[in-house]
Structure 1
């Protein structure tokens, strides 16, 4: 399967915050040939294990997507909803959504708002709040089976264009693709460290899954991956490789130096991002797990984050996987401490 196709499959999977089972199925099929074991832990993280010797490395990528939860449904089939994660109401207006109910069935809806003709002139230019939006699910003949607590995501199919992939939830499933590709690269070597690829749950509501996994696995090094904004003014752009987070108190200095040197020595394109404190990613919780875990953060450049048309560059995904696989193989022992 091509990397672009893998990205598309991951993007299209239904995986609201805390309900990532469908995404797990895609990942298990793709990563299975390259690891020794996959399992789901008690909190809902999917963990794929590449057994080896020496260091124990954890690679953390979240697979939940910002989503909606139904809070009320009236007799007409109009559903009110709340956000799960950072959803901007502006990107929801007029979107088609798919709703998965507790009976296991998927139903459709469209997000509507009061028509411009019926709005007051003085409020017509304002952005509607969640209180003013609704999902019209009346198109379903059995809409009365939609209930409070049912989950919804924007219904859009990802697509490839000129070396890029656009779609929903590429934050952070594009990095899940990096983990899968890294496992494939590591399968070429006869000797590797033990690597735990942790596909975490509930990052969008506080990085809940990462800390428990990092503590349970007792890793020597944690590598968190997430997306970052394509921003030419800050010298982070699509097509120029992953952004290594540097600066601030939360990134392990020695491991950063080793990773940066490995990239330079092997002529692998990288960029640099900075963080003055908390990163807002799984890295924040990985580093404080147990008695503390040396942690790195790699960020994949992305356009239009938390919208239905997030865009990533396929070559950045491939380059990051080559960087990580080679870096992991280069770690020999205590000299990295």
Structure 2
């Protein structure tokens, strides 16, 4: 599997074939169906189509909230644009070859937001959206309530907070030692930055000058036990990350052009990159008014209203 190096034709797979072209073995490509019935091919010509993808991902997330066990709704919705920018524009990945040795890596350290990652993977063709909705968190399903490495596109099973960044540092260092260009993107929650293991990993990344590592912090202001600032303040994150040797900046985490610009900006001085993305729990679903619950189980009426607010009648 080869990836195009042409930065003017961004998209999911960086592979120029269409879904109907043959694989290397001569058989047809059979991509998974996405939330609107369209294959997750490398067809995004730029930023213009990404908001539509974000909308469809949110529709899938609220459908997962209406499954028997519900889902971690607020934090799944808050990171949608982050995932769209990564999977739809920035990363070198291919849903037809999710374990390609040439791929970039995405690690969701806040593994409780599995519904958000699974919905994004469905949108970009890694998994079938109807299978996801039907099997989410069901007994024996690979679509567990915390991310599962058995799902195509998932690198590590996570959920115990504070581990994803260390995994990302190890992956990136391995590629550096082998002279490989693969990059690693780690998405953490802001409450998760209270874990000391993250700050240890930051020191190693800076010391090793791991420029292929990008940390994105979903700064949605909430965690399981309440507002982040009332539990352990995470103010001045950019300044603290800078002090640890990262190239850091803060952006609106729901502004796709700003996110893409931050992710695609060159790094200088051998520093890893850190982006503090200001987000809102429950963002993008009008009926939640930007105040999505940490966890939710939607009734059929909740689902109908949520889908209607997203431009879908729920039928």
- TM-score bucket (shorter structure): under 0.3
Length-normalised TM-score, structure 1: 0.26
| TM value normalised by structure 2 | 0.27
Bigger share in strand: 1
Q: Computing the radius of gyration over CA atoms, which structure comes out larger, 1 or 2?
A: 1
Higher share of residues assigned helix? 2
Q: Looking at both structures, which has the greater relative contact order when contacts are Cα pairs under 8 Å and sequence separation is at least 6?
A: 1
